[in-house]
Chains A and B, each alone.
Chain A
């Protein structure tokens, strides 16, 4: 064991699971898991949605208690009743939803609840000193006085990690830490993971991004349908072998073939000099059957462009024409009537009404057509919803709440809604965020099928590979402007990243 790299406050913990099982409502989600996590290593957990990787990580983190089997930490059999008990043993989980106090500073958040005090008052000087010391040890560069709510997500994750370290954690569990991050922030977080491993901590990484897992992890465990398929050194795996293990079969190509755009295809979406909050004069057009990718960093203005086209934010200037019709009034209603549909970035916050049935979520933006005189004809609604759900391959009872579906199927429900409305233009913002490998391909198929049906498609994604794999043409967005356009042979990851990251000063020639 590489004990010499370990820090004094980071005891080396071996975590062992022996025959661990867990059921929810009589349905087993984990069965018979035997797993050893080597101290000081980065251990990846991969599997489709519902494979049990989150459940497994939550058992280790004390959020759930195993029904069967035992959890052994450093030779002691333990049973954590709460995350607090796990933390007392040095195990901390960084949740997907960060639990920080947005109005407090970085240092205050890190030492929340255990601030150094003198005479009952918080001693700010000692707080700062303790923070600087901790941050230096972890190798993090953060301003202690910055208000957390104003920071980017990647930095907030660092704060959360520092908080765990401040409480003496030596095992850090991260569930999809990069799901909400742009390319640059993802790189930053990868650095953090490496830094943690280098300082002797153990990292358990749950991730959908296989290249990330292969790049960062020492060992990878594959789960499928609640069972452990295998644990192997990452060096022995490739994306293909991981996918095969996760699906129990090989996936074939990740992206569908690109269908060439007919030469005489008309322009279905024309945007001229669009100005809106976060959008500083954007002009582009999309032809029928064409898939245009909007690439760029998070915060570059891609979603803002989408929202401005869709009429979801007030437009300050410029014109949007859909199918030859000028969308003069910048409202969502006008955009929908013009045949433009937006699948928003965050399906949970902007897309779905989670507690309502699947059926209602499908028909939500098309209800008026199923309800002559304002009264819903339930037969017509049921048939319409079923047809659309069949088209996007979501099976099962559509009266269930949409929250019961996996991430991938929830995304398909949004596509089902879009199929009803998108007659000319479909804008899909981060269509595969938080979607498992198996469902990803079917979402790509849906996007391509839309284009083939003569709809102009705009795909926004933080994953460069995804835009590359789907789009005929890619526009790179930076600072609310389109700074580069690539087509055909120019479509390379390097071109896009160079344009996306380019220094604003040297960008005049871009």
Chain B
């Protein structure tokens, strides 16, 4: 072939040695995770106890479900700021139905409609941010105000007098209390969702299209991929996951406090976990396992603070610093790769 010389120079210049071949960038979250894990294991004997670990996992299951689904939104080039609001909405819808309908039928109706409400909002998010061409950041921010307002409206139907919506129905709280093989049902659900989404992203055509849509939407479109449909699907997944998480956490608590701050804080923690895990906010890059490590890292940090009796005041500060480090590292490695 006439171009062998040109080709050879390219190959020589790009063949890295074994040290360079290790994808340092993609392993970034692993080292701090292990470091904190080992440090806490040594520093606090309670940390590695079965009780503590299963307790942390149980409490993180809702957030984990939302975060792994939101990871797909981010990789596809979007962002979903409404997950917290959807989470509240589905909890309120679910609780209200359980109280109003009553009995097992009420529980089934509550769970199904609660989750479907999340899915529906997700689809709306997707359509608004693709076909209506509204920037997803703004679209989902606006949606989250709308949903929170709607949530308050609905919650009035479920309350008996003034106060919180309480769902002390045994057939419902059963969801949080069952422990197949000693691990709570919410943890199992989160585990299954994580595995499904990880495999979908890694091995399915849909997963591949998600990466392509976020990496280069125009190239993906010209390759015959229906980018809008892919993005809407990721928003739908994210809405579904937020709905599911809302229902699961309601079963655990089991009351819905009327506070927008909880919705906001959930959205932020989810985004923090994704970013700390190393999924790029710019889209096209990332993975489910990263988000799992990111969310667990934050949970571990908070747990460590509690176990070591450090003023919880410092938790937020520490988390903020870690997010800056994570994003800074991402930006730095992008710069270096050029």
Contacts and interface: CB of A to CB of B under 8 A. Distances in A.
Partners in one complex: yes
Contact of A48 (B9, B206, B221, B222): B9
Contacts of B225: 364-365
Contact of A356 (B15, B215, B222): B215
Interface stretch (A102-110, A139-147, A153-161, A344-352): A344-352
A364 B223 contact: yes
Interface stretch (A75-83, A285-293, A438-446): A438-446
Tell me whether chain B's interface is mostly helix, strand or loop, or mixed: helix
A376 B2 contact: no
Nearest to B199: A375
A436 B5 CA distance: 12
A328 interface: no
A393 B7 contact: yes
A409 B14 CA distance: 13
A312 B206 contact: no
A349 B6 CA distance: 24
A95 interface: no
Interface in A356-374: 356, 360, 364-365, 367-368, 371, 374
Contact of A252 (B2, B20, B206, B211): B2
A344 B6 contact: no
Range class of the A interface residue count: 35 or more
A312 B6 contact: no
Interface in A7-41: 24-27, 29
A404 interface: yes
Contacts of A25: 16, 20
Contacts of A49: 6, 10
Interface stretch (A243-251, A271-279, A480-488, A496-504): A243-251
Interface residues of B, number: 37
Contacts of B216: 349-350, 352-354
Contacts of A354: 215-216
Contacts of B209: 367
B181 interface: no
A417 interface: yes
Contacts of A129: none
A367 B222 contact: no
A13 B9 CA distance: 34
Contact of B7 (A251, A368, A395): A395
B204 A439 contact: no
Contacts of A233: none
B100 interface: no
A271 to B, nearest CB: 19
A280 interface: no
A400 B20 CA distance: 13
A349 B218 contact: yes
A495 interface: no
A354 B3 CA distance: 23
Contacts of A360: 208, 211-212
A367 to B, nearest CB: 5
Interface in B197-239: 203-206, 208-209, 211-212, 215-216, 218-226
Contacts of B1: 393, 442
B11 interface: yes
Interface in A238-286: 247-249, 251-252
Interface in B1-56: 1-3, 5-7, 9-17, 20
A438 B10 contact: no
A408 interface: yes
A398 B279 CA distance: 23
Contact of B221 (A332, A368, A396, A405): A332
Given A374-B204, A439-B6, A442-B3, A312 B222 contact: yes
Given A247-B6, A354-B215, A364-B212, A396 B222 contact: no
A27 B13 CA distance: 6
B284 interface: yes
Nearest to A360: B208
Given A332-B222, A406-B10, A375 B203 contact: yes
Given A25-B16, A342-B222, A438 B6 contact: yes
Given A353-B216, A371-B205, A248 B5 contact: yes
A393 B226 contact: no
Nearest to B1: A393
B14 A355 contact: no
B222 A225 contact: no
B291 to A, nearest CB: 18
B2 A367 contact: no
Given A350-B219, A368-B205, A376-B203, A249 B5 contact: yes
Given A365-B224, A368-B205, A371-B205, A352 B6 contact: no
A376 B211 contact: no
Contacts of B9: 48, 50-51, 225
Interface in B280-330: 284-285
A396 B10 CA distance: 10
Given A25-B20, A367-B208, A355 B6 contact: no
A376 B205 contact: yes
A214 B7 CA distance: 26
Nearest to B207: A376
A45 interface: no
A50 B203 CA distance: 35
Contacts of A336: 224
A371 B204 CA distance: 8
B3 A441 contact: yes
A478 B285 CA distance: 41
A149 interface: no
A51 B203 CA distance: 38
A29 B10 CA distance: 11
Contacts of B3: 393, 408, 438-439, 441-442
A396 B14 CA distance: 9
A364 B215 CA distance: 12
Interface in B165-220: 203-206, 208-209, 211-212, 215-216, 218-220
A333 interface: yes
B210 to A, nearest CB: 11
A351 B216 CA distance: 8
Contacts of A247: 5-6
Interface string A188-207: 00000000000000000000
A364 B216 CA distance: 12
Nearest to A307: B222
B232 to A, nearest CB: 16
A405 B224 CA distance: 23
Contacts of B208: 360, 364, 367, 376
19 contacts: A24-B13, A26-B17, A332-B224, A344-B222, A349-B219, A351-B222, A353-B219, A355-B215, A360-B211, A364-B220, A368-B205, A374-B205, A376-B205, A395-B11, A396-B10, A406-B6, A409-B7, A438-B5, A438-B6
**5 A-B pairs with the lowest CB-CB distances in the bound complex, closest first:** A438-B6, A353-B215, A365-B223, A364-B223, A438-B3
Interface of A: 24-27, 29, 48-51, 225, 247-249, 251-252, 310, 312, 332-333, 336, 342, 344, 349-356, 360, 364-365, 367-368, 371, 374-376, 378, 393-396, 400, 404-406, 408-409, 417, 436, 438-439, 441-442, 445
